[in-house]
Structure 1
Amino acid sequence: MTHSPSGSLPQEAEDFLAANPDIEAIDIVLHDANGIGRGKIIRRHELMGFYTGGRHLPISILGLDICGEDVHETGLIWDQGDGDLRAWPIPGTLKRLHGTTPPRAEVFMCMYTLDGAPMTSDPRHALARQVAAMAAEGMRPAGAFELEFFLLANDRDAQGRVQPARAVLDGRPSAKTEVYSVDHLHGMLPLFSDIYRAAEACGIRAETLISEYAPGQYELTLHYREDVMQAADDLMRLKRIVRLQARQHGMTACFMAKPVEQYAGSGMHFHVSLPDLSGRNLFVETIEGRWNDTIRHALGGLIATMGESMLVFAPHANSWRRFAAQSYAPVSPTWGVNNRSVALRIPAGDIRARRIEHRPAGVDANPYLVAATVLAGIRHGLTQRLDPGPETTGNGYVAAPEAPPIPVDWRSAIAAAEGSAFLKDALGPDMHRTFTAIKAAEQARVARTIADVDYDLYLHTV
């Protein structure tokens, strides 16, 4: 076929090449179930062919685990003969990469069958499906993600542990929790200036910069988007920008949920509001503080479905190390107002910007799947008119009201997700099978691996 099912047009590529005559190569990037960017680097002369005819890629690229190994239980490998499908560029995602030598660009792509139907094990299609369902119900969800991450030195300390990167400006080390320290941020300004320039070049409005609650931990916020698909694209692109720019400054950007055992982990909080098709925010209450049924039922749906959805929000073995009391990561499905000890927070601020901050997801999660699952949870609450229960006030870690149970570890989360009719509907049957099969394979890999702690505890003692 020659018509792009993604809606991309050759004119976009023509205009880009004309405006960027120095570009030599382009990264074409498809995001898999783990959010890993997979694809190819093509040369300048190949770009027009990509826009006019797509690019054949093996179906198995969407059935890979975190190590890039085939997961046969996805049904995407030999069940399909590992044949090719066709990837097409996503309109508006062809952007120049900042600071690369020789000059390069990138474009996101999405997978389709050879006859142009969406390939439904592609995470982007899962989110598009929920956005379309909400549009059919008269809603157009808006939102933004927060990006927390660590900047680490490329070498380990004497004990083999990761350590914070030294300041770019003067090489100064710091092993303290420099939370909200502006002076500490100054030492990293050359790097963050490059990150901001790269984001701007890609049309991303990266905003507030914070030194977070652990040595070497930072947070970047993103401008609120009227389209949650754009919000997810922004997050994916910003992660790639931070990783590339950190590497060019001689350090490692780390997006593990919990890289340092004694400090807080990194979240990927998702702020979501619910405008109708005319732009009116359906979460806004008539009298400030008297929550309307729409936001209450949305909260109720998110609480009711959180347990069976936790695998999406905490998809890796390391993800589960982030959840601990007093850690700024939620441990139960609770809601509250201006309260960071709960899972679902209604932030303080202008009533016209009323939104829910969904806090369970770690920065290691796939934002397309997170957003799809959150939107499905909201729809479930609205349809069933679910009550969220009483608001949590004060310390939610010790005074949380009764709430539905959620898994306490990775294995339990996999079992809950596998058996969840809600999650199967939220992601679509194919994406659900692909995602849960990949997670089960990864859990089996971890379970059979002998960790150093086993030798530390048992080698000379049992």
Structure 2
Amino acid sequence: MTKDTAARPQGVADIAEAEAFLTAHPETTAFDLVLIDANGIARGKIIRRHELLPIFRSGRHLPGSILGLDVSGEDVEETGLVWSDGDADRRAWPIAGSLVPLPWTNPPRGEVRLSLFELDGAPMAADPRQVLSRRDTLLKAQGFHPVLAYELEFYLLDRERDAAGNFQPLRLPLSGERPEGIQVYGVNELDRLEPFIDAVYRAAEAQGLPVETMISEYAQGQFELTLRHGSALRAADDLVMLKRLLRALALRHGMMACFMAKPFPGRAGSGMHVHASLADAAGDNLFADRAGELSPLMTQAVAGLLETMDESMLVFAPHLNSWRRFSAQSYAPTTPTWGTNNRSVAVRIPAGAGAGRHLEQRAAGIDANPYLVGATVLAAMQRGIVSKADPGPQTTAYADGAGDSLPPDWRSAIDKAAASSFLKEALGERMHHVFLALKRAEFRRFAAEITPLERSLYGEIV
């Protein structure tokens, strides 16, 4: 049995952060404790104001099984975190800098995000944030300081379904009308969404979230928000916070923020493009162009991403619905290709000044866990750099599916991930086991379901 030493792990929040917040926000009556699970879902509880300081002093016991839940919130025994573990407690500690107000709540609440540790203070290896932290530490030991930024594509939907039970695009607040046509980059759609957009930017400022550009995307009711780049952990933290913010504000504006990869057939899916580079200890970009050409370090990192993409796709597309996003002549890649200034490839080198050069991994959907995505992307980059890999020729036109292809479906991706020694190392053996157990349980749930389409096609025909 692991001894419960209640030792304070390195890097967790100091009690001074909580004391300062309570002084600055005497109106705050309660706090959301938030832990992000392997599916990217926020789990936790609400505590009263007087409970906050003890958590910052000594942490808080939480069952390890909180990280062994499927998307419906049910235990998955095969993770090894439920009955075979005695549903044992671990200790959750506040993440430094994560204590923020929830400006949309009344009466006012705050939020503090948690990371899970073993009782002896060791990182809990099935905590997704710990997985990314481990990879970040490994890279820094080699002199590489990861810099990440995530793009967030999502739909704003009406809370009312149509007569058939399907989702409907939102009614724009100022006009009361549903968007018509695709109207990608449409400014009128953004203008008619003004009350919601204003609330988003105000709440983001209150929470210290570096939210930047908002775009009307490639379908009715689809939008994109960008986040300013930062450290690996901060960038992933920002994305999970922004999703919570959007979901809460959409609810309060009579809408639903939807982060499914593909909520509508025949319309654009929603991606979570990851922008990545490496800096040295002084903060200088190691991916910056050399003599007007792409740096060898950059192309080696690209090669690592391409070489490992097929076995990593379960992380980037973790659910059944994730696989509906991939199709020919779309902005979701179907082959492990790369190119400069080409949005049809899996790894894109965006146009721009050579000093700020970085890569963009475009396979991940917005339904993926940003901590696991970030850890996998960085591990693949690291592999390519260590082996001095060559990515081969760039794709200069549309990536039309020639050459190697990615797994065709969810089941194939599960099998690829299970057999991958790379993914086991990238995630760590325990997270690899837990993640696969969760995905297999989710697959079995869908495989057992008889769908309306099956009844329609086969009920009176075969």
Q: TM-score, normalised by structure 2?
A: 0.97
Match of 1:144 among 123, 141, 149: 149
Residues of 1 paired with 2:237 and 2:430: CA distance? 22
CA contact (8 A) 1:297 1:381 kept: yes
Q: 1:178 aligns with which of 178, 183, 190?
A: 183
- The yes-or-no answer on 1:277 pairing with 2:281 is yes
- 2:218 aligned with 1:213: yes
| Equivalent position amino acid for 2:267 in 1 | Y
Partners of 2:174 and 2:408 lie apart in 1 by 42
Q: Distance in 1 between matches of 2:423 and 2:272?
A: 20
TM-fit CA distance, 1:387: 0.8
User: CA offsets per residue over residues 338-396 of structure 1, 9 Å max, x none?
Assistant: 00000000000111110000000000000000000000000100111111111001111
Correspondent of 2:67 among 62, 81, 84: 62
- Find out whether 1:235 has 2:236 as its counterpart: no
Partner of 1:325 in structure 2? Answer: 328
Q: Deviations over 1:397-419 (max 9, x none)?
A: 25x4x34x421100010011111
Aligned to 1:347: 350
In structure 2, the partner of 1:262 is: 266
Please name the residue that 2:456 is paired with. Answer: 456
Give a deviation string over 1:163-190, Cα, whole Å, max 9, x none: 1010112312224212111011111110
Tell me if the contact between 1:3 and 1:52 (Cα under 8 Å) persists in the aligned partners: no
Structure 2 counterpart of 1:59, which letter? G
What amino acid is aligned across from residue 184 of structure 1 in structure 2?
E
Deviation at 1:3, TM superposition (A): 4.3
Q: CA deviation at 1:287?
A: 2.5
User: 2:66 & 2:12 partners in 1: Cα distance?
Assistant: 22
Look up the SS of the partner of 1:39 in the other structure.
strand
Q: Distance in 1 between matches of 2:157 and 2:291?
A: 47
Which amino acid in 2 is paired with 1:410?
A: W
Equivalent pairs counted in the alignment come to 457
Alignment match of 2:394 (pick from 383, 387, 391): 391
Report if the CA contact (8 A) 1:150-1:217 is conserved.
yes
Q: Which of 341, 362, 375 pairs up with 2:378?
A: 375
Please, which of 357, 364, 370 is the counterpart of residue 360 of structure 2? 357
User: Post-superposition shift, 1:12?
Assistant: 0.7
1:160 aligns with 2:176: no
CA distance in 1, matches of 2:58, 2:140: 30
CA contact under 8 A between 2:6 and 2:119: conserved in structure 1?
A: no
SS at match of 1:364: coil
Q: Contact conserved, 1:56 with 1:86, CA < 8 A, in 2?
A: yes
CA deviations over 1:118-156 (Å, ceiling 9, x no partner)? 110000010001000000000101010000000000111
SS at match of 2:257: strand
Question: Following the alignment from structure 2 to structure 1, what is the Cα–Cα distance between the partners of residues 213 and 182?
Answer: 19
**Range with bigger deviation, 233-242 or 270-279:** 270-279
Corresponding residue number in structure 2 for 1:424: 424
Which residue of structure 2 lines up, in the alignment, with residue 169 of structure 1?
A: 174
SS, match of residue 42 in structure 1: strand
* 1:28 pairs with one of 14, 30, 33: 33
Q: Aligned equivalents of 1:315 and 1:26: distance in 2? A: 30
**Matches of 1:383 and 1:173 in 2, distance apart?**
51
Deviates more, 1:363-372 or 1:70-79: 70-79
Contact 2:6 2:121 in 1 (8 A): no
What is the SS of the residue equivalent to 1:56?
strand
* Aligned residue among 288, 302, 305 for 1:302: 305
1:81 alignment partner AA: G
Which whole-Å deviations, capped at 9, do the CAs of 1:87-110 have from their partners, x for residues lacking one? 000000000011211101101100
Task: Give CA-to-partner distance per residue, 1:423-460, whole Å, 9 cap, x none.
Answer: 00000001110001100110011111111111121122
Letter in 2 for 1:190: P
Counterpart mapping for 1:67-82 below 5 A = 67-82=72-87
SS of the equivalent of 2:400 reads helix
Q: Matches of 2:198 and 2:460 in 1, distance apart? A: 51
- The 2-side partners of 1:109 and 1:72 are apart by 23
How far did residue 2 of structure 1 move?
4.8
Q: Identify the match of residue 194 of structure 1 among 190, 199, 218.
A: 199
1:95 aligns with 2:81: no
Q: Secondary structure at the match of 1:143?
A: strand
> 1:315, 1:115 → 2: CA distance?
32
Q: Distance in 1 between matches of 2:203 and 2:84?
A: 41
Amino acid at match of 1:54: G
Aligned to 1:408: 408
SS at 1:257 equivalent: coil
Letter paired with 1:20 = H
Contact 1:2–1:52 (Cα < 8 Å) also in 2: no
Partner of 2:227: 222
Task: Answer yes or no: is the 8 Å Cα contact 2:315–2:372 preserved in 1.
Answer: yes
The answer to whether the Cα contact below 8 Å between 1:145 and 1:271 also exists between their aligned partners in 2 is yes
Determine the C-alpha separation between the residues in 2 that align with 1:132 and 1:253. Answer: 34
1:81 is displaced (CA, Å) by 0.5
Assess if the C-alpha contact under 8 Å between 2:6 and 2:120 holds in 1.
Answer: no
What residue is the counterpart of 1:311 in the other structure? 314
The alpha-carbon deviation at position 461 of structure 1 amounts to 1.7
> How many percent identity over aligned positions?
54
In structure 1, how many angstroms separate the alpha carbons of the residues matched to 2:13 and 2:285? 30
Measured in 1, the distance between the counterparts of 2:461 and 2:166 equals 24
Deviations 1:310-354 (A, max 9, x none): 000000000000000112100011000000000000000111110
Q: Deviations over 1:190-246 (max 9, x none)?
A: 001111111111111111110000111000001111x11100000000000000000
